[in-house]
Amino acid sequence: MLTRDNFRGPWAGLPVAWTDDDTFDEVTYRSDVARCCESGVPGVYTGGTTGEFYAMEFDEFQAIARATVEECHARNTPAMIGCSSTYTLGAQRRAAFAAEIGADAIQVTIPFWMEVDSCGVELFFQQVSQAAGGLPLSVYETTRCKVTLSLEQHRAIHDRLPNYLMVKSNAGTFGANPDGCRALSEIVNVFTGEGLWKTLGPHGVVGGCSSMVYWNPQVCLSLWQAVEAADWNAVSQKSEPVSKLFAFLHEEFGSRGYTDTAFDRLGGLASGFLNTSMRSRGPYVSVSTKDVEKLRSWYAAEFPEMLV
């Protein structure tokens, strides 16, 4: 059972492998999940933006969720399933299926196509949580949802749902700054991207839905160990090449129209850790072999520890 004490660290937020004819490549995906588990990551997560929840049918979601849970549980690793949708019933169906197959947690974002009125937010999370039978709940906060939650709303959701254990705080949301992170961490566990661990580590960050952990688990887990030890000098030193990597990705590929999943595939394929496809589901742009080779060359010259 996940609790606030053990729901922490860099969970691997994996992309989904697609075949050349744009169907689920289950064999490759299962191998990526298994490799993450065997590397010692604290958990595996799919169904977020990198997992392209917005670009799959319900039957595909079921196959991907089942593969994730089965591979994780075969290796004693918890699995969290993203159950986001553009409407309540869609999220409920996904949450109910996640519970049925034994997922350890669900993650849900506020429906994002039509703006949700503030009075409907708490009820939405309650209804989805009930569909999942009260599984540990993570809220995925992002400005892509058009609305963000206040501290009071986070408290109200937690008062209704004690199983609300973790929030994934992205740029522009309450928890993605020192004061907000400190206040929010009194209620739930705050996860952020690896690039914010240096800044927010002293203010209560306890993990992340990570891409870097499957670019190179050893590098990411070493950084996380320094955060957990509150060794801020070590965190600063280990964060320097990471910052340079993110800067290179932005400068070299930022104008290509790549989405989260494209960047995360690129990082893991270039390091040699992932076996996933380069394909992102259309209409979103996919990375190329040339992109992978360019990043691999940069790794070799600037950050060789990232190569597997």
Mean pLDDT by 10 residues, the chain (308 residues): 97 97 98 98 97 97 98 98 98 98 98 93 97 98 96 97 98 97 98 96 97 98 98 97 97 96 98 98 97 98 97
302 part of a folded domain? no
Residue 215: give the domain boundaries: 9-229
Asked if residue 41 belongs to a domain, the reply is yes
Residue 72 has what pLDDT?
A: 98
Q: What pLDDT, on the 0 to 100 scale, is given for residue 119? A: 87
Pairing mode, if any, of strands 79-82 and 9-13? unpaired
Within a domain: residue 276? Answer: no
**Domain assignment present for 164:** yes
Residue 22 inside a domain? The answer is yes
34, 36, 37, 41 alpha-carbon torsion, rounded to 10°: -170
Per-residue pLDDT at 58: 98
Residue 308 belongs to some domain of the structure: no
116: CATH = 3.20.20.70
Provide the domain count of the chain: 1
In a domain, 67, yes or no: yes
**Domain annotation covers residue 297:** no
Nearest to 238 by CA among 272, 209, 198, 206: 198
Dist. CA 214–CA 275, nearest whole Å: 11
Please list, residue by residue across 78-102, b when 16 or more beta carbons sit within 10 angstroms of its beta carbon and e when fewer do: bbbbbbbbeebebbbbbbbbbbebe
